[in-house]
Amino acid sequence: MIIFSYVFILILIFFWGLNFLSLPGNWLIILSLAGVDFFSSQINLGPWSWVLLIGLGIAGEALEWIGQYWGGKKFGLSSRGNIAAIIGAIVGSILGVPFFLGFGAILGALLGAYLASFLVEYLADRSMAKAHQKALGAFWGKALGLVAKLGIGMAILVIAIPKLTSF
């Protein structure tokens, strides 16, 4: 059982890493923990742990997208620009995966949010300076949201890992 626990912890850490790709890594952690909690008699997370884990999962997703949306709006990004930034971040993170041992996904997400929102805003205003300013909001908002989601994912791991190794 000890070997299973440590392999499972490595899998959870891998799932946490999927957050860099704007994928639902925190939810994969929570679903995996639910499976182990359900099928194992030695690990019991308890109802309050589940309330906390699910609450953190919801908060992580919300903060990722709210951060990007808020950053864009603060810099004057339109609704179309925000939608483009979200799509651009996802596409950019996927295209960035092959670079820098997978960490290119972070840069890809940030640049994808910037470039997609820049393009939409430039086509709407025909002003490079305004489009650049607005796209910077999408860039920094995405960065803020990603940091929040990664931090919450780490909190989920900090709650779960001691329970997986304490038997």
Kindly list the domain boundaries of the chain, sorted by start residue.
Answer: 2-164
C-alpha closest to that of 110 among 98, 96, 124:
96
Would you say residue 167 has pLDDT above 60? no
- pLDDT score recorded for residue 44: 77
pLDDT tens-place string over residues 68-98 = 889 889 999 999 999 999 999 989 988 998 8
The answer to whether 138 and 82 are in contact (CB under 8 A) is yes
* Measured CA angle at 32 (ends 13, 148), to 5 deg: 50
- pLDDT score recorded for residue 158: 94
Distance CA 150, CA 67 (A): 13
Determine if residue 126 is left, alpha or beta; phi over 0 gives left, psi from -120 to 50 gives alpha, anything else beta.
left
pLDDT tens-place string over residues 18-69 = 888 777 899 999 999 999 888 887 677 888 999 999 999 999 989 988 988 8
- pLDDT score recorded for residue 1: 65
pLDDT tens-place string over residues 106-157 = 899 999 999 999 999 999 988 999 999 999 999 999 999 999 999 999 999 9
